[in-house]
Amino acid sequence: MEQTTEHCLKTKGYETFVPTYQMTSSYKSIAVPLFPGYVFCRFDPNVRCPIVTTPGVLRVVGFGKKPALVCESEIEAIRKIVLSPLPARPHEYLAAGQTVRVKQGPLYGVEGKIATFQNANRLIVSVTLLERSVSVEIDSEWVEPVLITGEMQQ
């Protein structure tokens, strides 16, 4: 469904993004949306009619009639993960935890939270507005803590 909606929006000339990951069934590998039901689209918020009349679009995420803006750095981090050779998958949304920045490898510069799952380190990157996250396995040597202004190094 997301791919069809994305195609319709692209046909209308809009820049879109549907991040996917590879899921393997017993028969084949298929691309599955990381955020089911969502298509990211860049458009003028004052001209929503062409968007909401697109097949597959139920509504524009927002506050009342005002569309919500998704943080550009979050979208770029998700894009970098999807384009990397590292296998990504959906992850539960994390609001707290150690924030890190990737200092080497294919995700250089991406910021997220670090978590350990099944004896592996995973970088969790979230889209705050949707309260959805994606995780990717990384080497712990690739990351460094991000210091928040006012934090003291120990």
Domain boundaries, the chain: 2-67, 72-145
Query: Mean pLDDT over residues 93-119, rounded?
Result: 85
Whether 152 shows a pLDDT value over 50: the answer reads no
Instruction: Using alpha carbons, list the distances in angstroms from residue 25 to 3, 28, 29, 68.
Output: 20, 5, 6, 35
Could you confirm whether domain 2-67 is CATH 3.30.70.940?
yes
Q: In the prediction, which pLDDT does 57 show? A: 94
20: β partners: 33
Is residue 143 predicted with pLDDT exceeding 80? yes
* pLDDT single digits (tens) 40-50: 999 999 998 99
Q: How many residues does the chain have?
A: 154
Looking at the structure, give the CATH architecture of the domain made up of residues 72-145: Roll (2.30)
What is the pLDDT, as a whole number, of residue 154?
43
How much is the average pLDDT of 89-107?
83
pTM of model > 0.95? no
